[in-house]
Structure 1
Amino acid sequence: MRRIVRNSWILCWKNFIKSAKNWRLFDRSPFFSINPNEEILLNWTEKKWILIQWFQGGLVAGVIVALVGCAAQGQPGGGPVDVIGPRLVSVIPENGSIRVTLKPKIELTFSETINPRSAEGTLIVSPHLKTTPVIKTNRKKITIKLLEPLQSNRTYIFSYARNLQDFQKNPTVEDIKLAFSTGDSLDEGKISGIVYQIPEKKPAMIWVFRKQIAFPDSLPSQKPDYAAAVTGSGFYEVSNLPVGEYRLIAHVPPAAKPGTFFPMEEDPLGIQQTKNIVIRHRNDTAIGINFRLDKISLRPFRLLTAVPTNNALELNFTSSIPDTNLKNAAFHIIGSGTPNVLKTWADAGSPKQVFLQVDGLIPDSTYSIAIRNLFDETGDHPALDNRPIRFTWRVQTDTLKPRLIKTNPLNRGKNFGSTDPIVLDFSEPIILDSIQQKILLFESDSINVPTADRWLDGNSLVLTPMEPLKSNSNYTIKLLCQKWKDAADNFFKDSVITQTFSTIDVNQFGSLSGIVKTSTTIDFKKLIVAVQSSTENFQRQTHPDSTGKFVFLSLLPGKYSARIWFDPNGDEVYDAGRMIPYRIAEPYKDLPNMITIRSRWETAEVELNY
């Protein structure tokens, strides 16, 4: 290819020489003539011919050079597919250098061509610079031009993490980070740990915030001071940190913005499980700073709006609210008339919505609402910020028919527990005279099973069999709903609903026993040990005794993963923490090894290290 380019330029030069000889240009040009004072006289035909010869040669050379340049950046045809990312070959200044000038030349050279787009907007400089450096990518080399001098006696980190890619979108083999100091020593503080529950094939990042006077109220709105990539195994290490106090956030950025900290509500996030992370001396190391990724609300729990809809009042919150949390909640409508809340229910399809059926409201009148004892799924109470939530009541015609939207167990579900309650979720409250005569449970389609019933909230009905269901048996739920209706006299969408499910075969059960071991003193009774089958949605959890021993008596055969977390509030549910107001997560650990359970067999003496 180089020979073709060279020959094209030779052709261009030969055309020029040929034209010059034909028109005696050497004899009349001040560049070639012995007598430079000789007058240069070229008519238009001569000029045009020389231009044509030059254009022919130059066009061929230009096209070839352009094709060569494009070909150099694409994936070569044939041969094995490139799946190995770029590797850092050399850096200027050297990593770990001290006494670096305040306006250094910064270059990174890689083993293959870097896609310039991957270098745009993904560089993190710590500490921050007032002006953004200019990034120039030239094939294998990245040049970072500083627009302001660095500060003296500071350690600087220029990090791309693993955001740089080649033209086949392969990320770099390792974290790309350059650390150097403008003073006589380099900061050597380190923080490391494990990130659990990373989605498959999703790169995770650790974002580090250093305390100045105080931490900001909202970390998601701040630019992080340091960053590090998380390995495929979940390990991370942030190095070259100065003395100070830190907060860390684990995050899976969206694919479109791999190197940016701009978390959205749907992004997996992790909050640190340790209250204070402090580097007290220049070479201190903080280990075991772990994270579990989860869906975490980026806003404090509060009521956003109250909107009349279908003769009910729709309340929209920032966080999800379980049905069970409505039982002790109190909703007060303040305004004209005698408002009275008759029923409350949560929307199974939109868990951030709660509906109120209210009597005594006057049309076109304005009301405000007060809430007490309502908690979201993490146990937070809504902060109203002293702002009354107001609404104007409008009478609307409700024409929507009530319907069954969710059941537990699912229709045709398997391995239902013999003592588990049956839950029916409706789209809105329904009116029915006698549940016992309208909702029936049968064993093998014919044997009636007596049940006790209770309303969990306005639209969720719980059926509890009077006796445990039989093992490895088929059951049918029949709903005779031809006369069911809502408060607006809209009849149920279906006249008869039939669903089936089967129970667990207890003869297949195996058991698991063992002990939890810790390196520090801990209240074992506040630990939760949970196991989950790798093939079915089957999970169980228990508390160890005061010595750390635990037992699971009823597990289906198969392979199980185990996890442990510390549950100080005793709600039996993992608390992933909160961004606003900031609250650390409960300490959590995934156990790396799978546990095999066999039918009618005890898997004993299993040690789980927490």
Structure 2
Amino acid sequence: QRNFTGEKIELTFDEYIKLKDPSEEIMVSPTVGKETKFQVKKNKLVIVPKQKLAENTTYNISFRDAVQDINEGNPVFNLRLAFSTGDEIDSLSVSGNVYQLFKEEPPEKITVALYQADTFNIFNHQPTYFTRTDKKGNFTITNLKAGLYRIYAFDDKSKNLKVESKSERFGFLTKKFNPANKVDTLKIPLMQADARPIKITSIRNTTRTSSIRLNKAIDSVRVESEYQNYFIKYFGDQQNEIVFYGILEEQPLEDSLKINLHLQDSTGNKLDTIAYVKSVKVKTIKEKFTINFTPTQYDYQAGTITTTGNFNKLISSINTDSIYIQIDSTHFKAVEKKNISIDTLYHRIKLSADLKLPKTAKDSPTSNPILIFGKGAFVSIEQDSSKARNEVIRIEKEDALGSLSVDISTKEQNYILQLLNGKGEVLETKPNVKKHTFSFLNAQEYKLRIIIDRNGNKKWDPGNFEKSVEPESVIFYKTFDGKTSVPVRANWEVGPLLIKF
């Protein structure tokens, strides 16, 4: 209908109806207000907009599964309504697909929205035109005027038509388009990235530590202070906390220590600020010193073992006399300090040592060396010692393992090839290789993933909406039948698989 002037919209059906989640299922675009009323009486549906309808505007109503027959609850299929408050009904449309960057499953009920103003901010403003995706992530926004638009998508859990990046997935495209030129293949990547500005939320001082808490996790921290020799900095249990240790015993005469902080998060947001920390004599409960290691991995090609771990207290000393590898009942190999590296900021530890095994040992499934950490192998900065721990190094028979080779065809300069297990965990990472073979693989399902590393920093970056930088692309290898899993069996040599992008 054209030149509509009514204050409510009334629809009549050929049988009695009922509504299911109308505020969720019925999409009115442009929006007419969150508190729009939907009323049913017998076979009539009345929509009372919260806001007055704008002049010379085309409205589109998508009912999705909201309108159902009263007896069996069957929804009216693909029910849509378009009307205009002016002389013309706009008829252009845009369509495409929303997909998850790091998952294969299509996202459901994702809000897809358009905006035109360059000053529009998806975190602060509500869109005029929007819709939701179907079960396959597909979407269509209809009844548009010609003009330049940008598009974004988000999981509107808060139902306020704004992106809450702390808890909602979102994605965006930076390039403008005009629906007057057929636009039906847009692909919007969905990701989780906290885009809020970095803020300090609290500073907590104790006798030996000062903790600066932030509103979100950060990627990097740089500290400038004339008192840098008085403390050691490291992240807390999560990367939204920076801990400064050791400011008590050698604290200068000043009551507080001035620290210049330079912080940056994964989206490129920065915070340069000043904080003051000090020692406050308070009673604290002393934590037990713990170090947790991952299962030790054996590299057949390099003839090395590797294990990584994390610790809850700073490590002050390592007793390598208490760390060694028992190859069998009569052969032992010492671990040296050069085999151990410590990252204080992230409280991580890595042990990597040579372990050349004779051929007979590799062939024997019962010949598993043991990595031994004796009691007191590690001593914390509070002088408590680590517990004893033995870690069996599992070495499979070579004929029980397989390999997977890859050929890459691309014009991209920087990219990252990743081998994943069936759970999606990254097992190996190889940057900028044209050919590669993943050898000595356990018999199981694997996945291959490519990250287009536009800035060459050897990690995935989520981009930044306010700087008009899209997230780096992620590509999964797919077989001819569309599957992403690649089986590797004992003694198999799979590939080479061609990945072209």
Answer yes or no: same fold by TM over 0.5: yes
Instruction: Give me the identity figure in percent.
Output: 13
Query: Which of 489, 494, 498 is the equivalent residue of 1:603?
Result: 494
Query: Which of 393, 403, 406 is the equivalent residue of 1:510?
Result: 403
Q: Which position in structure 1 is the counterpart of 2:96?
A: 192
| Alpha-carbon shift at residue 212 of structure 1 (Å) | 2.2
Query: Which of 280, 292, 317 is the equivalent residue of 1:394?
Result: 280
- Whole-angstrom distance in 2 between the partners of 1:538 and 1:333: 38
Secondary structure of the residue that 1:370 maps to in structure 2? Answer: strand
Task: Decide whether the 8 Å contact of 1:475 with 1:502 is kept in 2.
Answer: yes
User: Are 2:258 and 1:368 aligned?
Assistant: yes
| Alpha-carbon shift at residue 112 of structure 1 (Å) | 8.2
- Whole-angstrom distance in 1 between the partners of 2:466 and 2:348: 31
Assess, with a 3 A threshold, how the Cα gap between structure 1 residues 426 and 606 changes in structure 2: closer, same or farther: closer
Task: Decide whether the 8 Å contact of 2:211 with 2:241 is kept in 1.
Answer: yes
Q: Which position in structure 1 is the counterpart of 2:344?
A: 457
Counterpart of 1:510, as a letter, is S
TM-score by length of 2: 0.78
Q: Which position in structure 2 is the counterpart of 1:227?
A: 130
Secondary structure of the residue that 1:431 maps to in structure 2? Answer: strand
User: Are 2:390 and 1:498 aligned?
Assistant: yes
Q: Which position in structure 1 is the counterpart of 2:373?
A: 479
User: Are 2:392 and 1:530 aligned?
Assistant: no
Indicate the structure (1 or 2) with the bigger Cα radius of gyration. 1
- Whole-angstrom distance in 1 between the partners of 2:171 and 2:23: 28
Secondary structure of the residue that 2:310 maps to in structure 1? Answer: strand
**1:119-175 superposed Cα distances (whole Å, 9 cap, x missing partner):** 236644322336853221346753212466533432212245567789999996877
- Whole-angstrom distance in 2 between the partners of 1:569 and 1:414: 31
Secondary structure of the residue that 1:307 maps to in structure 2? Answer: strand
Counterpart of 1:478, as a letter, is I
Q: Which position in structure 2 is the counterpart of 1:206?
A: 111
- Whole-angstrom distance in 2 between the partners of 1:363 and 1:142: 76
Task: Decide whether the 8 Å contact of 1:511 with 1:600 is kept in 2.
Answer: no
User: Are 2:311 and 1:426 aligned?
Assistant: yes
Task: Decide whether the 8 Å contact of 2:298 with 2:306 is kept in 1.
Answer: no
- Using the TM superposition, name which of 352-361 and 194-203 deviates more: 194-203
- Whole-angstrom distance in 1 between the partners of 2:229 and 2:140: 57
Assess, with a 3 A threshold, how the Cα gap between structure 1 residues 427 and 300 changes in structure 2: closer, same or farther: same
- Whole-angstrom distance in 2 between the partners of 1:405 and 1:421: 16
Q: Which position in structure 1 is the counterpart of 2:39?
A: 136
Q: Which position in structure 2 is the counterpart of 1:346?
A: 235
| Alpha-carbon shift at residue 237 of structure 1 (Å) | 3.2
- Whole-angstrom distance in 2 between the partners of 1:169 and 1:261: 32
Alpha-carbon RMSD: 4.1
Query: Which of 260, 270, 279 is the equivalent residue of 1:382?
Result: 270
Query: Which of 339, 356, 359 is the equivalent residue of 2:244?
Result: 356
Query: Which of 177, 180, 188 is the equivalent residue of 1:290?
Result: 188
Structure 2: give runs of 5+ residues left out of the alignment: none
- Whole-angstrom distance in 1 between the partners of 2:245 and 2:71: 58
User: Are 2:171 and 1:271 aligned?
Assistant: yes
Structure 1: give runs of 5+ residues left out of the alignment: 1-97, 517-521
- Whole-angstrom distance in 2 between the partners of 1:530 and 1:287: 28
TM-score by length of 1: 0.66
User: Are 2:321 and 1:437 aligned?
Assistant: yes
User: Are 2:202 and 1:305 aligned?
Assistant: yes
- Whole-angstrom distance in 1 between the partners of 2:414 and 2:112: 30
- Whole-angstrom distance in 1 between the partners of 2:323 and 2:372: 6
Counterpart of 1:189, as a letter, is S
| Alpha-carbon shift at residue 425 of structure 1 (Å) | 1.3
Assess, with a 3 A threshold, how the Cα gap between structure 1 residues 498 and 315 changes in structure 2: closer, same or farther: farther
Task: Decide whether the 8 Å contact of 2:323 with 2:377 is kept in 1.
Answer: no
Secondary structure of the residue that 2:320 maps to in structure 1? Answer: helix
| Alpha-carbon shift at residue 463 of structure 1 (Å) | 1.5
Task: Decide whether the 8 Å contact of 2:193 with 2:267 is kept in 1.
Answer: no
Q: Which position in structure 2 is the counterpart of 1:566?
A: 452
Assess, with a 3 A threshold, how the Cα gap between structure 1 residues 147 and 390 changes in structure 2: closer, same or farther: same
Assess, with a 3 A threshold, how the Cα gap between structure 1 residues 158 and 484 changes in structure 2: closer, same or farther: same
Q: Which position in structure 2 is the counterpart of 1:246?
A: 150
Task: Decide whether the 8 Å contact of 1:205 with 1:227 is kept in 2.
Answer: no
Counterpart of 1:285, as a letter, is V
Secondary structure of the residue that 2:315 maps to in structure 1? Answer: coil
Q: How does 1:18-417 map to 2 (within 5 A)?
A: 99-103=2-6, 105-107=9-11, 114-115=18-19, 118-120=21-23, 123-129=26-32, 132-138=35-41, 142-146=45-49, 150-159=53-62, 177-181=80-84, 182-196=86-100, 197=102, 203-216=108-121, 219-242=122-145, 243-251=147-155, 253-254=156-157, 261=161, 264=164, 267-272=167-172, 274-279=173-178, 282-285=180-183, 287-293=185-191, 295-309=192-206, 311-321=208-218, 330-333=222-225, 338=227, 340-347=229-236, 349-359=237-247, 360-361=250-251, 365-372=255-262, 375-376=264-265, 378=266, 380=268, 382-384=270-272, 387-409=273-295
Secondary structure of the residue that 1:525 maps to in structure 2? Answer: coil
Secondary structure of the residue that 2:343 maps to in structure 1? Answer: strand
Equivalenced residue count is 476
Secondary structure of the residue that 1:340 maps to in structure 2? Answer: helix
Secondary structure of the residue that 1:564 maps to in structure 2? Answer: strand
| Alpha-carbon shift at residue 405 of structure 1 (Å) | 4.9
| Alpha-carbon shift at residue 282 of structure 1 (Å) | 2.9
